[in-house]
C-alpha cells in the first residue's frame, strides 16, 4: 500500500469488543494471566508492552518499511537506546552538524561511560573513511542536518559502514518517512524525534527506533526500552497515531511553504545565505533530489549584520513564534547558537525556521517587515 494509506490504516484494527473505528487508548498498566500462568493475549505489564503502543509501533514500522519499531518517551530516549546497544570501548562516528542534544548526550553521558566518538563532516567521504577504526560499531547520519541542512548520501555512508563491520543509523526527524526512507537506502536503523513533524501539533514529546531487521540490533533496543523504561504513555501513543494520519498531507504543505519562504529569502538584500536543500544552489541539492521525495519544512537563514541584526529581525516577527523545536502546524524561529550554548559552532547570524502550515504569503509578509 501507498504511504497515505499506511499513515491512516497501518497498525490499527477495529476493536473486537465494541467495533470502535479509532484505536482505543488502553490505560491499563497490567493484564490478567490465565489460570496456567500464561498471558494468552500477549500483554503482561505496561512497561514491556501495551496495545496502544503496539499499534503505534506497527504503524511506524510500516511507514519506514522496517521489520520492527520501538516507541520511546522522547527522541533523546530513542537516541540513548541506540547508544546503549553499544559497549564501553566501542567507537562511533557522528556528524559535526547534527542536533546539538546528541553531541551533549554523547559528551556528558556516553563518553564518560566509555564510548569513543569521532565527529566529522559526514558529507566528506574521505573523512568518514579516515575516521574508521577496528572498534567502530556505529556510523550516525542526520540528513538533512540540524541546523545547516547539510545532505549526506545515506546509501554511500551505509555501504562504507557495512564494509567496516559497523551499523548505520539515520536520524530521520527532519525528513520523516514521507520524504525519505533511510532503510531503503541501506541504513540498519532509523531514529525519530516524534515530537516534531511526525506528531505535528506541538503537544507531545516522543521518540522511535525502527529497524530494517528484527535481529540482534533491534532486540538490544527492545531490551533497553523494557529495562531502562523510557516508554511513552498510551495517551501520547494515541495522539501520535492521530498526528501520523495526516503526516503525508502536512509534509507536502510544509515543503511547498518552505520552498516559497526560502526562495523569497534567497533574493533578499539583507540575507547572507539561505540553507534549504530545495534551492538549486544548495550544495546537497542533487543528492537530496535523489534520496528524498521532497525537501521538507526546515530552513535556516543567515542575516547580514551578525548576531544583533538576527535578534532585531526576530524581535519584529508577528506570525512566526520565537521558540525552539520544530515540525508543528505553527511556524517557529530561533537563534540556534544561543539555544545550543557554549561549544556551539552554529554561526551567530543564523536563524533556524520551522515552516508551518499558515498561508505562505503571510509568512513572507512577516519576514519582509521584520527585515526592513
Ligand atoms: N533529533 C533531532 C533532529 C531533533 O531536532 C531533536 C530535538 O530537537 C531530537 C533528535 C531530540 O528529540 P526530543 O526533543 O524529542 O528528545
Give 309-323 as a DSSP string. Answer: HHHHHHHH-SSSEE-
327-362 burial: b if 16+ Cβ within 10 Å, else e = bbeebbbbbbbeebeeebebbbbbbbbbbbbbebee
- What pLDDT score does 343 carry? 86
91 near 272, Cβ under 8 Å? no
Ligand 1 within 6 A of CB of 143: no
Q: What mean pLDDT comes out for the span 249-277?
A: 98
Ligand 1 within 6 A of CB of 328: no
Ligand 1 within 6 A of CB of 123: no
- What pLDDT score does 185 carry? 98
Model pLDDT for residues 206-250, shown as the tens digit of each residue: 999 999 999 999 999 999 999 999 999 999 999 999 999 999 999
Q: Taking the model in full, what pTM does it have? A: 0.97
Residue 49 grid cell: 508492552
Annotated catalytic residue 12 = no
pLDDT tier at 98, thresholds 50, 70, 90:
very high
pLDDT tier at 137, thresholds 50, 70, 90:
very high
Percent over 90 (pLDDT), the chain? 98
Ligand 1 within 6 A of CB of 75: yes
Q: What mean pLDDT comes out for the span 115-133?
A: 98
170 near 189, Cβ under 8 Å? yes
Identified catalytic residue from 99, 188, 236, 276: 99
Phi/psi class of residue 286: alpha, beta or left (left: φ > 0; alpha: ψ in -120 to 50)? Answer: alpha
> Taking 90 as the threshold, does the pLDDT of residue 342 lie above it?
no
> Which residue CA neighbors atom 8 of ligand 1 most closely?
325
Model pLDDT for residues 292-315, shown as the tens digit of each residue: 999 999 999 999 999 999 999 999
Annotated catalytic residue 196 = yes
Annotated catalytic residue 47 = yes
> Taking 90 as the threshold, does the pLDDT of residue 84 lie above it?
yes
- Compute φ and ψ for 322, nearest 5 degrees: -80, 100
- What pLDDT score does 186 carry? 98
Q: For the chain, give the mean pLDDT.
A: 97
> Which residue CA neighbors atom 11 of ligand 1 most closely?
75
Annotated catalytic residue 90 = no
Beta-bridge partner residues of 95? 120
Q: What mean pLDDT comes out for the span 248-269?
A: 98
Ligand 1 within 6 A of CB of 207: yes
CA distances from 114 to 78, 131, 226 (A): 19, 18, 23
Amino acid at each position: 500500500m501507498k504511504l497515505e494509506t499506511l499513515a491512516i490504516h497501518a497498525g490499527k484494527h477495529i476493536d473486537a469488543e465494541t467495533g470502535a473505528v479509532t484505536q482505543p487508548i488502553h490505560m491499563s498498566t497490567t493484564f490478567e494471566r490465565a489460570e496456567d500462568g500464561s498471558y494468552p493475549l500477549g500483554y503482561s505489564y505496561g512497561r514491556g508492552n501495551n496495545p496502544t503502543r503496539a499499534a503505534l509501533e506497527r504503524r511506524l514500522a510500516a511507514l519506514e518499511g522496517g521489520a520492527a519499531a520501538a516507541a520511546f518517551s522522547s527522541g533523546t530516549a530513542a537516541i540513548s537506546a541506540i547508544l546503549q546497544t553499544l559497549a564501553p570501548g566501542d567507537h562511533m562516528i557522528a556528524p559535526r552538524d547534527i542536533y546539538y542534544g546528541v553531541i551533549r548526550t554523547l559528551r556528558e553521558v556516553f563518553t564518560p561511560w566509555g564510548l569513543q566518538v569521532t565527529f566529522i563532516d559526514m558529507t566528506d567521504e574521505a573523512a568518514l573513511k579516515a575516521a574508521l577504526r577496528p572498534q567502530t560499531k556505529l556510523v550516525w547520519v542526520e540528513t538533512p542536518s540540524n541546523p545547516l541542512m547539510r545532505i549526506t548520501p545515506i546509501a554511500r555512508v551505509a555501504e562504507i559502514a557495512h564494509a567496516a563491520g559497523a551499523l548505520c543509523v539515520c536520524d530521520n526527524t527532519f525528513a520523516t518517512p514521507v520524504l525519505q526512507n533511510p532503510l531503503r537506502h541501506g541504513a540498519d536503523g532509523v531514529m525519530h524525534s516524534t515530537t516534531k513533524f511526525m506528531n505535528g501539533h506541538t503537544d507531545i514529546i516522543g521518540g522511535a527506533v525502527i529497524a530494517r531487521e528484527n535481529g540482534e540490533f533491534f532486540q538490544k533496543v527492545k531490551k533497553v526500552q523494557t529495562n531502562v523504561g523510557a516508554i511513552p504513555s498510551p495517551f501520547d501513543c494515541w495522539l501520535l497515531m492521530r498526528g501520523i494520519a495526516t503526516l503525508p498531507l502536512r509534509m507536502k504543505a510544509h515543503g511547498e511553504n518552505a520552498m516559497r519562504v526560502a526562495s523569497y529569502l534567497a533574493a533578499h538584500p539583507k540575507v547572507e545565505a539561505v540553507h534549504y536543500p530545495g534551492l538549486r544552489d544548495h550544495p546537497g541539492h542533487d543528492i537530496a533530489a535523489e534520496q528524498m521525495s521532497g525537501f521538507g519544512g526546515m530552513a535556516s537563514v543567515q542575516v547580514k549584520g551578525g548576531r544583533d541584526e538576527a535578534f532585531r529581525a526576530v524581535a519584529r516577527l508577528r506570525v512566526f513564534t520565537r521558540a525552539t523545536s520544530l515540525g508543528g502546524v505553527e511556524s517557529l524561529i530561533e537563534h540556534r547558537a544561543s539555544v545550543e550554548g557554549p561549544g556551539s559552532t552554529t554561526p551567530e547570524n543564523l536563524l533556524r525556521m520551522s515552516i508551518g502550515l499558515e498561508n505562505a504569503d503571510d509568512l513572507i509578509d512577516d519576514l519582509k517587515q521584520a527585515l526592513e
